[in-house]
Amino acid sequence: MDQKPHYQLFIDGDWTEGASGQVMTSLNPATGKGWATFACAAPQDVDRAIAAARRVLEQPSWRDMTQTQRGKLLYRLADLIEGNADQLGHVETTDSGKLLVETTSQTKYVAEYYRYYGGLADKIEGAVLPIDKPDMHVFTRREPIGVVVAIVPWNAQMFLTATKLGPALAAGCSVVLKASEMAPAPMLEFARLFEQAGFPPGVVSVLTGDAENCAIPLTRHPDIDRIAFTGGPDTARHVVRNSAENFAVTSLELGGKSPILVFEDADLDGAANGLIAGNFGASGQSCVAGSRGLIQRPIFDELVRRIEEKAASIIVGDPLAAATHVGPLCTAAQVKRIEQTLAVATSQGAAIRFGGSRLDRPGNYMAPTLVECRDLNTETLKVEMFGPVMSLLPFDTEEEAIAIANGTEFALGSGVFTQNLARAHRVSARLKAGICWINTYRAVSPIAPFGGYGQSGYGREGGMEAIQDYTRTKTTWISTSEAPMANPFVMR
CB atoms within 10 A of CB 60: 8
Together in a domain, 66 and 202: yes
Q: Once rounded to an integer, what is the mean pLDDT over residues 266-284? A: 96
In DSSP terms, which residues pair with 15 in a beta bridge?
A: 10
pLDDT of residue 471: 98
Same domain assignment for residues 284 and 217: no
Q: Would you say residue 468 lies in a domain? A: yes
The pLDDT-based confidence of 461 (bands split at 50, 70, 90) is very high
When divided into structural domains, the chain yields a total of 2
State whether 163 and 272 are in the same domain: no
Edge-to-edge strands of the sheet including 136-144? 127-129, 136-144, 471-479
Lowest mean pLDDT among 168-177, 317-326, 482-491: 482-491
Report whether pLDDT(63) > 60. yes
Asked whether residue 303 falls in the same domain as residue 354, the answer is: yes
Residue 330 near residue 154 (C-beta atoms within 8 A): yes
Read off the CATH number of the domain in which 106 is found: 3.40.605.10
At residue 56, does pLDDT exceed 70? Answer: yes
The DSSP bridge partners found for residue 34 are 27
How far apart (Å, rounded) are the C-alpha atoms in residues 218 and 206? 12
- Looking at residue 37, the DSSP 8-state letter turns out to be E
d(CA 52, CA 357): 48
Q: What percent of the chain has pLDDT over 90?
A: 98
Average pLDDT (170-180) is 98
How far apart (Å, rounded) are the C-alpha atoms in residues 50 and 55?
8
For residue 304, give its domain range.
259-438
488 occurs within a structural domain:
no
Residue whose C-alpha is closest to residue 152's, from 17, 287, 26: 287
pLDDT at 2: 65
pLDDT at 423 over 90: yes
Active site residue 125: no
Neighbouring-strand partners of residue 23: 39
Other beta carbons within 10 Å of 478: 9
Q: What is the pLDDT of residues 189-208, one digit of tens each?
A: 999 999 999 999 999 999 99
The end-to-end CA distance of the chain, in Å, is 88
278-279-283 Cα angle (round to 5): 115
Residue 277 lies in a domain: yes
> Same domain, yes or no, for 42 and 16?
yes
User: CATH code at 329?
Assistant: 3.40.309.10
Do 197 and 318 lie in a common domain? Answer: no
Structure confidence by residue, pLDDT tens digits, 381-412 = 999 999 999 999 999 999 999 999 999 999 99
Question: Does any domain span residue 492?
Answer: no
As a whole number, the mean pLDDT across the chain is: 96
Per-residue exposure over 118-139, b if at least 16 CB sit within 10 Å of its own CB, e if not: bebbeebeeeeeeeeeeeeeee
* Per-residue confidence band for 490, with pLDDT thresholds at 50, 70 and 90: confident
pLDDT of 1 > 50? The answer is no
Q: Say yes or no: 195 and 324 in one domain.
A: no
Cβ count near 16 (within 10 Å): 14
Q: Once rounded to an integer, what is the mean pLDDT over residues 373-388?
A: 94
pLDDT at 492 over 70: no
Average pLDDT over residues 174-183: 97
- Kindly report the pTM of this predicted structure: 0.95
At 290, the pLDDT band (50, 70, 90 cuts) reads very high
User: Is the domain of 245 the same as that of 270?
Assistant: no
Same domain, yes or no, for 126 and 211?
yes
Task: Say if CB 430 and CB 401 are below 8 A apart.
Answer: no
| Catalytic site residue from 253, 379, 384, 461 | 253
Residues 27 and 161 in one domain: yes
The answer to whether residues 415 and 472 belong to one domain is no
Confirm whether 433 is domain-assigned: yes
334 in a domain, yes or no? yes
pLDDT digits (tens, 9 = 90+) for 323-358: 999 999 999 999 999 999 999 999 999 999 999 999
**Same-domain check for residues 316 and 462:** no
In a domain, 126, yes or no: yes
